[in-house]
């Protein structure tokens, strides 16, 4: 944490009581989004907690996901983490997190859609995920694993939509296996195949973030294109759902 303290601007003369809080928030997000430093700081236990929070708690939507897994794989290739423990632990965290999100949605139901916005909650994220769910149904739970933000809210939407838990659990396990293993092993085998890749780790993280955002960008553009082709909201668009 001290690595980042010198990067923050010193408080101005007569600084207000808000400044320590602002500095703490800046420091927090600086650490969270510096993924290699975050992994060094929290280790395997912290990784498990982050994956659980990102998949199971709505306030965790801002946490790194894909970039965290790929970087963890790179660390495992270097011997800093044990791949034999890393994948099973993260897989368990993802499955448990998704199940927690499902029960939150099941318990809160439609009331979630009228919840006011806050610093850690944006209603539009829930609404957009619901629209995605309407188009793709149960497959959303699998597809969402590879889409930031949607990944956090998809289990909640499934629970609120009264998807049976048995059906949800199937999609949950399949999606978690595909997501955790593909991302972590990508980093792991990159680390084994390219010596010294850790020196370019921030480039790898940037590429992973871009690729993880790409499906959401494409889905957004397709949605806008559909709206332009059916400006009156014709019944044909409704039938496609």
- Asked if pLDDT for residue 5 goes beyond 60, the answer is no
Classify 25 as helix, strand or coil: helix
The pLDDT value given to residue 206: 74
Residues written for the chain: 241
Selected residue with higher pLDDT from 3 and 149:
149
The pLDDT value given to residue 57: 85
Selected residue with higher pLDDT from 203 and 26:
203
List the beta strands (DSSP E) in 56-165. Answer: none
Residue 52: how many other CB atoms lie within 10 Å: 21
How large is the average pLDDT for residues 158-187? 91
220's tokens: 């957004």
Helix pair angle (35-56, 201-229), 10° resolution:
40
Distance (Å) of CA 25 to CA 12, 99, 136: 17, 29, 37
Contact between 90 and 184 under an 8 Å Cβ cutoff? The reply is yes
The pLDDT value given to residue 227: 73
Query: pLDDT tens digit string along 12-62?
Result: 454 444 566 767 666 655 666 688 888 989 999 999 999 999 888 877 777
Q: Where are the domains of the chain?
A: 18-240
The pLDDT value given to residue 105: 86
- Rounded CA-CA distance 225/136 in Å is 18
Residue 121 pairs in a beta bridge with 118
Selected residue with higher pLDDT from 169 and 59:
169
């Amino acid at each position: 944490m001290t690595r980042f303290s010198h990067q923050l601007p010193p408080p101005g003369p007569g600084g207000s009581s808000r400044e320590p809080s602002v500095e703490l928030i800046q420091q927090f997000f600086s650490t969270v989004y510096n993924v290699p430093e975050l992994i060094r700081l929290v280790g395997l236990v912290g990784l498990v907690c982050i994956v659980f929070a990102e998949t199971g708690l709505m306030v965790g939507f801002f946490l790194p996901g894909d970039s965290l897994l790929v970087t963890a794989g790179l660390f495992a290739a270097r011997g800093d983490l044990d791949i034999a423990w890393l994948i099973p632990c993260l897989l368990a965290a993802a499955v448990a997190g998704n199940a927690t999100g499902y029960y939150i949605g099941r318990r809160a139901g439609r009331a979630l859609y009228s919840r006011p916005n806050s610093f850690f909650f944006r209603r539009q994220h829930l609404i957009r995920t619901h629209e995605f769910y309407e188009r793709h149904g149960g497959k959303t739970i699998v597809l969402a694993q590879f889409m930031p933000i949607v990944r956090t809210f998809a289990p909640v939407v499934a629970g609120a939509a009264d998807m049976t838990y048995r059906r949800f659990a199937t999609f949950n396990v399949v999606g978690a296996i595909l997501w955790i293993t593909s991302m972590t092993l990508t980093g792991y085998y990159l680390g084994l195949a390219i010596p010294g890749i850790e020196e370019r780790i921030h480039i790898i993280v940037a590429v992973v973030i871009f690729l993880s955002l790409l499906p959401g960008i494409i889905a957004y553009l397709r949605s806008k294109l559909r709206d332009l082709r059916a400006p009156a909201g014709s019944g044909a668009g409704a039938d496609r759902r």
